[in-house]
Copies of this chain bind each other. A is one copy, B any other.
Amino acid sequence: MQQDPDAHAPVRALEQLKEAVVRGELDAIAPLLDSLHPAEIADGMESMPQEQRSLLWNRLMPEVRGEVLLELHGDARSRMIDEADTADLIAAVRRLQGDELADLDAQLPPEILDGALRAMDKDRVRRYQQVRTFPDDTAGGLMDADAVAVREDVSVALVMRYLRRLRQRWGHMPEHMDSVVVIDESGRYKGMLRLSDLVSAEPGRAVAELMVTEIAPVPADMAAQTVARLFENRDLISAPVIDTDGKVIGRITVDDIVDVILSEGEHRVLGPVGLSAETDIFAPVTTNAKSRAIWLGIHLAGAFAAAAVVSAFERSIEQLVALAVLMPVVATMGGVAGNQTVTLVTRGLALRQVDRSNTLRVLSKELGVALLNGALWAVIVGAVALIWFGHLFLGAVFGVAMLTTLLVSALSGALIPVAMSNWGIDPAVSAGVIVTAIADVMGFLVFLGLATMLLL
A344 on the B face (CB < 8 A): yes
The verdict on A11 contacting chain B, using a C-beta distance below 8 Å, is yes
Question: Are A279 and B344 in touch, CB under 8 angstroms?
Answer: yes
**Within 8 Å of chain B (Cβ to Cβ): is A354?**
yes
A440 touches B332 (CB 8 A): yes
Could you tell me if B222 and A196 are in contact, using CB atoms closer than 8 angstroms? no
Docked complex Cα distance between A255 and B332 (Å) = 41
A158–B160 Cα gap in the complex (Å)? 16
Q: Does A55 contact B (CB under 8 A)?
A: no
Chain B residues with CB under 8 Å of A323's CB are: 324
In the assembled complex, A199 has its CB within 8 A of some CB on chain B: yes
Give chain B nearest CB distance to A76 CB in angstroms.
Answer: 10
Q: Is the CB of B357 within 8 A of A19?
A: yes
Closest B residue by C-beta to A2? B246
B321 pairs with A384, CB closer than 8 A:
no
Q: How far is the CA of A343 from the CA of B173 in the complex (A)?
A: 42
A197 to B: closest C-beta gap in Å: 6
CB < 8 Å: which of B216, B254, B307 contacts A7? Answer: B216
The answer to whether A299 touches B197 (Cβ under 8 A) is no
Q: Which residue of chain B lies nearest to A236 when distances are taken between CB atoms in the complex?
A: B255
Complex CA–CA separation, A138 to B234 (angstroms): 23
Q: Which residue of B lies closest to A36 (CB)?
A: B233
> Hey, which chain B residues are within 8 Å of A133, CB to CB?
none
> Chain A 272-287, CB within 8 Å of chain B: the 1/0 string?
1111000101100110
Residues of B within 8 A of A288 (CB): 365, 369
Interface size class of A (residues with CB under 8 A): 35 or more
In chain A between 218 and 261, which residues have their CB closer than 8 angstroms to a CB of chain B? 218-219, 222, 226-227, 229-235, 237, 239, 242, 244, 246, 254-255, 257-258, 261
Question: Contact: A296 with B199, CB < 8 Å?
Answer: no
Complex Cα–Cα for A299 and B436 (A): 15
Q: How far is the CA of A375 from the CA of B125 in the complex (A)?
A: 50
Q: A174 at the A/B interface (Cβ < 8 Å)?
A: yes
B interface footprint on A1-41 (CB within 8 Å = 1, 0 otherwise): 01011111111001100110010000000000000010110
Which of the candidate stretches A83-91, A163-171, A416-424 sits at the interface with the other chain?
Answer: A163-171
Known: A254-B258, A317-B324, A384-B304. A222 touches B178 (CB 8 A): no
A425 interfacial by beta-carbon distance below 8 Å: no
If the complex has contacts A195-B196, A234-B37, A307-B326, are A336 and B216 also in contact, measured as CB distance less than 8 A?
no
In the complex, A201→B361 CA distance in Å?
59
List chain B residues, Cβ under 8 A from A255.
235, 237, 254
Chain B: minimal CB distance from A209 (Å): 14
| A452 CB–B CB distance under 8 Å | no
Q: Which chain B positions have C-beta within 8 A of A354?
A: 47, 281
15 of the cross-chain contacts (CB-CB < 8 Å) are A8-B226, A47-B348, A177-B196, A178-B178, A178-B237, A261-B261, A273-B343, A282-B361, A282-B362, A286-B372, A289-B373, A303-B328, A307-B325, A311-B322, A317-B317
